[in-house]
Structure 1
């Protein structure tokens, strides 16, 4: 008898992996013999339980397994979510092996002026030297705490156009940031409506319910993407997810493979301009060709009702807010395409990415840092460090006026750590 357990929760995977290694030390020994190297990136966002698993393997390997660990404690912005920038000495002690500490001081991304700026927000003293081909670029770094909330949209449009049309930066190299998704969704839709000549990749532009556990959402990934060599592995994985869910729902799928399911999907041709109508027809045709009546399976029927009900409500709401294009099939297809437009993201969401121009707004106390953050002002420094270090060439920071606290009625003030930074800002 074979027992197959599917873990959908990453925390459960970590928990059981740790339990296995703790209760059965031989597993660590075996893994230490299997792996010649353990490579850890962004170590400052690694959780304590992950360190325990890694160091158990290294310790069991008794030096046979090498480790290469890279990170920046100044970018440890996930501590409230469990990220832990472990001290070098603590890691060395846990691993029980000799580890050499080195400093990566060269920055191959940003200009000297950008580096000089975000260096003001160092929590851990680090030495950073500009080494990019654009290190002498005459970067523009601006900070505006006078624009009103009512005028924010106009100012963002001006800065976007300035960077693209005046400085020659490509649209996909422009990023607009804010602390939370709630600040971004409606703004994204307004920017799209007022700048139709540019495409945007961000929240508020997904025309249907993004429920990653919904069966029909998973199938829509295949329905809305074209067969191509660059998408093949990804679509093959999605097909596997669909077959697993079908089997879990009680359908017989033994006669299908991931490849045969993709062939069935690729063969469907529908002439339909409305996105939701397209998906309804696609699903009906596919299941007719598979000879499966999904309505016989309660889970699939419930997911179907939920997917189309919430999606229709979302499309109707977005249309009422002025996004008339949101229901078109081409808008639906963009959801899973490679992103090519102006990026809209949260500060946490953009970590690890880089852009020629970064525009950040809502840099306000109790937003940066969040009022619930136990590390307060230290977290504010790290968030500002991350914002600044995303930019290669130009950086624009905004602490708009006129945002009112819901309960007290008081106005949000600019982030204290940003206001206290003394820098020769540019007028753009």
Structure 2
């Protein structure tokens, strides 16, 4: 698929930099990318520099090296965040460096690794990098997440294929999900998609729901209270300077923040969760007064428990997202084992931090004010999928009117 592939890869690189990141002249973006994805990385660097970037900071990631470190490095390594790493994040933050992250690693790269080591590193790295990631979640600079198939990931998605055949098949799925055909028309298709998403977000905001009630045959029976002044968002975001960008490519979701203390009931996951290099399967979470009070998983329970206890806020929800069951990604029939794709194939929730811009004026609030407004505070943010073919979501407005938002897994409007 050489010729067609090259045209699509080139269009995809342009899409990530020009539409996703909407890179502005004079900016210095940060590009985090797996080593196996060097061809895409080189194209992104070229597009960025041609667009007027001052420079590009490239960070290579390697699942094999990461696994070896977790298995064999000194224990103290995972409880100390290097000063040079902190200086780098401070440097990026000072310059408002846009961030382009490329996912594509092995979903089970850390299978068998001691979860305590993973948690120790998460805790050690979270606080020094928090100013940077807080600024990112508040959209103070552009950021976007894309994907690049690697062999380990591709063979997980296509277990009947091996090697390049699996990678080729996954590339076609990625291109399709991102509206890339090789004809150069992806930006126009994304413009239409973003406009349609904005219209549906306006409809949700006009309802001004007080709560949402989720039920399905799996056993989900969950009530989520929404903060006063909550905002449904989706499609494009914007920085304070008015620079539009698309944080996730692909994206099909409309999302907002729940009240951190306003979640009650049980929710069952609809899809496996790729979490910290492991897979968590067939799990449910019980909530009371907003807090996760019980968790059970058929596989990966310890990894899940470690994540929801990383800090106090990790045991509360920070995001509510609506995605129709009949979304383009779900209709591929593929399980991607990658949150970027699977969350856009299913309604999902996230435990951990909320996005400040999901409440009116939230970006300008300090942490205490954000929490008072209902926004959860955490160093963690983990999406998990809850959408099913029979999912029902009924919203109750602040005037007491009940509105069926989802029926049989899809929007009613």
Task: Tell me the TM-score normalised to structure 1 length.
Answer: 0.23
**Structure with higher RCO (Cα < 8 A, 6+ apart):** 1
Task: Tell me the TM-score normalised to structure 2 length.
Answer: 0.24
Q: Which has the higher helix share?
A: 1
Q: Which has the higher strand share?
A: 2
